[in-house]
Amino acid sequence: MEDCEVCCNPIEISYTVEDDTLTSFAAKTLESIRWELATENRR
């Protein structure tokens, strides 16, 4: 979890590296994480 230097909102950053190559990258704002959690709780 990092803070955006522009808006100071938390951002979750995740990535995968295989054989010294970036194979996946994702960045989610706290708002999108809250939405995902709310959606999961409805199931």
pLDDT one-digit tens code per residue, 1-43: 566 666 667 788 899 999 999 999 998 887 776 667 677 777 6
Q: Are 4 and 11 in contact (CB under 8 A)?
A: yes
pLDDT confidence of residue 4:
61
Asked whether the beta carbons of 22 and 15 are under 8 A apart, the reply is yes
pLDDT of residue 14: 92
Residue ranges of the domains in the chain?
2-42
Tell me, what's the pLDDT at 16?
Answer: 97
Task: Please tell me the pTM assigned to this model.
Answer: 0.53
